[in-house]
Amino acid sequence: MIDVTVVLVNDGYASTAIAPLEVFSSAGVLLNAFAGEAPEPRFRVQVASVDGRPVQSAHQLAVSPQTSIAEIEKTDLIVVSAIGLDVEAALAAHRPLLDWLRLWSDRGTGVAAACAGVSFLAEAGLLDGRRATTHWALAREFARRYPKVDWHPEAFITEDEGVYCGGGVYGVIDLSLYLVEKFCGHAVALDCARSMLVEMPRVNQAGFAVLPLTSRHDDSTIRKAEEWLHAHFATEVRLEALAAQLGMSPRNFERRFKTATGMKARSYLQALRIAAARRMLEEGARSVQQVSSAVGYDDVAYFRTLFKRHTALTPGAYRRRFGRDGAGLPAAAR
């Protein structure tokens, strides 16, 4: 069982606490109930405030926690809810939260926030030198306020060494599902999303990019290679040219890529493409040929073989089982 702590803040958006609570609590539970099966909860969720007292949201909704942050004894993941637009006042009112976040992050606990709530992570220093995102309208101000952070406001979700950021207020649903997938796998996240009638995580605020889950490592050059592959996986990719672009020999590039990510570069590229294809099929793409071409494979027969190797299903069977039309859902959930 994975322990999650959702942190309430005063004058914030209550939905950014309630949505994670409901997503994590539904994983392994809600779809099972629809299907008449025993629940298999994946997360144990606690709701805390800084002092254990109820908080008042930005829209005058009172929300009561179960405990205070000081009383949390075990947690694998922390999700901080979003504040309102007065960042300065919110940070001043929640100073004890910053030390607490640093403490748990140093212990290896994942820390996440969305929208303006990302300012807590930045103020605590957890984002220095790391990729991060926030609501597009806050990006310029946050870039000025926190210049050590590698801001990517075009992204809905970022992940960097156990620190997770989301875009807008309702982007917290995307972030929560992303974390379900991170901790429990794609199938559990997909079941959770479909049982709640929401889409799988969007990862780009423009609605186009697809980023699979990333691994933790400190090789900044290989991280640049990953980012390049994320942006260009649908095109013809020559790994030798990418190595040269990064100032490495092909052999050294392969060695460092495998050391950093645990995968060969070619396998990583395939995983990127298959992840993109899966989401296209989940969203109702009808032509396997179009999907194949869209993710960089002109040879549809090879694409089918590769897709089945990764998922144990043909593209057509995967679409029938997991597609948006709900064919794979029990009758009660369609």
pLDDT at 5 over 80: yes
Burial class of residue 60, CB neighbours in 10 A (0-12, 13-18, 19+): exposed
- For 203-243, write each residue's pLDDT tens digit: 544 333 334 445 567 788 998 898 899 888 889 999 999 99
Give the integer Cα–Cα distance in Å for 322 and 194. 9
Give the integer Cα–Cα distance in Å for 205 and 114. 13
- The two three-digit tokens of residue 112, written as one number: 């996440």
Of 200 and 163, the one with more pLDDT: 163
Question: Beta-carbon neighbour count of residue 61 at 10 Å?
Answer: 12
pTM across the whole model: 0.66
Task: Tell me phi and psi for residue 273, to 5 degrees.
Answer: -65, -40
Which of the four pLDDT bands, split at 50, 70 and 90, describes residue 77? very high
Strand partners, 165: 113, 158
**Of 2-16, 92-106, 188-202, which gets the smallest average pLDDT?**
188-202
Q: pLDDT over 90 for what percent of the chain?
A: 44
- For 106-115, write each residue's pLDDT tens digit: 999 999 999 9
Which of the four pLDDT bands, split at 50, 70 and 90, describes residue 251? very high
The stretch 150-178 carries a mean pLDDT of: 86
Q: What contacts 17, CB < 8 A, 6 or more positions away?
A: 6, 7, 8, 47, 63, 79, 81
pLDDT at 34 over 70: yes
Radius of gyration of the chain (CA): 21
SS3 content of the chain, % helix, strand, coil (to 5): 50, 15, 35
- The closest alpha carbon to 15, from 76, 84, 75, 71, belongs to 84
Q: Which domains does the chain have, with CATH numbers?
A: 2-195 (3.40.50.880), 220-322 (1.10.10.60)
Give the integer Cα–Cα distance in Å for 74 and 77. 9
pLDDT for res 324: 62
- For 272-326, write each residue's pLDDT tens digit: 899 889 888 887 777 899 999 999 999 999 999 999 888 888 998 888 877 765 4
Question: Beta-carbon neighbour count of residue 100 at 10 Å?
Answer: 21
pLDDT for res 201: 64
| DSSP notation for 108-150 | T-EEEEEGGGHHHHHHTTTTBTSEE---GGGHHHHHHH-TTBE
pLDDT at 151 over 60: yes
